A and B are shown apart, each in its own frame.
Chain A
Amino acid sequence: MLGMKNVIYIFSMLLINFTTIAQVNELIIGRTTGVFQIESKDSVRVFGFTNTLSGQVTLPGTTIEVMEGDDVTIDFWNISQGDPHEIVIKGIDLKTNDASPIKNVDNSVHHMEHGYYNFIAEHPGTYIYYCSVNYPFNIQAGMFGVLIIRAHEDYLKSTKKETDTKELLWCSFEMDPQWHDNSLMDVEYEQQPELAELPPYNPQHFFINGKTNEQLNNKEIVMNLDTEGPTILRLANTGFWKHEIKFPNELKVEVIRRNKLKNNNLESIRNLTINPLETFELRISSKKTTNKNIQFDFINPETNSIENTQYIPVKIQNNL
């Protein structure tokens, strides 16, 4: 009888494991010859992460979405020439797969080769992944993206369509075009770039999800809020400056997570500062209409002055 109980227990545990833990493989391709539009006509060369061979580099790179508990393998295919590249996820320790052909002791992957990084998605949250080689040059060049680990409880509460419509991701960053010159980006294989010779960081362009203020003025990003339920806003600062957001009083804004830490004491906030490589998850709701915008400031950490501001319209749906 006891043996039977043990068998049922073991079977149940195995069933739970098989149904809740999935093996997830994500292909991420490293690129160094992308073209990124900064204004209506101007473009710069960028590095970046994509998941297709023929797709242009976007900033941020490919968003990786997994479920809590997933056993995730990132197949990093470095299709570039020059220095090796590496994937690092802030807040998660990556293991290199035993079968990985990663040859470098620092876990970087040589050009034209694959490297496999593995992790268990233990803590739900929003994470930034990036290339740490030649820091800070490669991240400014464009080698960054966002990883989302969804909690089971959130996933079970809503359908995929609801998740898509009620979730927003804003990845903000600045760009200094001087750092995107071919003379700096064309690094020979096994030749280190002279990081000491980088020009002083003097960003001229400011982006949210790769859109400039000019593009935002065309309302390419709008915060659509639903009065029937809250919207989850994920924020990721992949720049080197501080980014500060000011929300209109009509919105109720609560911090759910800061980096991977869950905030158990939800309190309403009006302003939020996001430091470099920091992420937040906010719950935003509104019962009132507003014609005010969300203000997004880019702050020079040396002078503490606001160098650029973007305004994001708020649109209330199903409203009163």
Chain B
Amino acid sequence: MDLLLSLLSLSFLAAIVRSTVPLALAASGGLLSERSGVIQIALEGLMVSGAFAGACGAYYGGGALAGIAAGVSVGALLGLGYAWIVVKLEADQIVTGVALNLLAEGLTRYLLKVVFGSAANSKDLDQVSALWSSSTVGDLLANPLVWLCILAAVGVHLALSRSRAGLRLRAAGDHPAAAEALGVNVARVRLGAVALGGALAGLAGVWMVLALRSFSSGMIGGRGYIALAAVIFGAWRPLPVLGATALFGLFRALEVELRLSPAVLKVIPAGYLMTLPYVLPVLALVLWSRRARSRATAPRALGRPLSEGQSAR
């Protein structure tokens, strides 16, 4: 009964939004990158780096805005660096992405120690004002980042479907050779798309930091991978991807709620319950890809280096 009342409350809605926003931001970023033809498995590392930079920015820059600026720039720069390695130098995208994730996790611990004197935690970010809090529905409605997130998700949708730049981006992801023939600089489009995506993933990390007013190592906790799963589950289309992140956000909030219910715990042991936000996305992906043969919906040149298929150089 308590459980039911809780699930129908506005406060539960707020919990869903809180867990959806970082996923939606990161997934929008991942989507931009993937639609341009570059696999973006480094979302996790970009979020971690953005979060850490956001904490440093907020701490030394005196507030959330400096944190956002720092997180977004670091995300964009790292995205650009990643894009440079895989587009210009044609390194393997998965291997480079995984390396970036490892690098982010390790380097933030090292830098945390240098900047804040602890390899695990930043100082408290008391500089962050109440404007950025996310506790209730009211807080969320007043929080500029929530609106920025909606703007980003809808913006990506409109840009991809309605704008010239979006058309070029999609062409770069589906038929790079054709796009190249029509005068599109595919490499440049991909660099731009991945950098912009990195900025969004960085912003997702900043959201996590502002919500807690501190950074701790490991705080992203796989959300970057969940966001990537949402991109695939949403079949690389912006609005379904947004829906997928909301669904995964709902699972996460639901799992937290169910953990408090002794009645539920009697049926499902806590250990299994905790896997819910991870298992359900995977399950959804499996079912979905069987049904929709999502291979057909993936950008056709996804993961392929530019030189592939061209005559030997």
The answer to whether A and B interact is no
Binding site for A on B (CB under 8 A): none
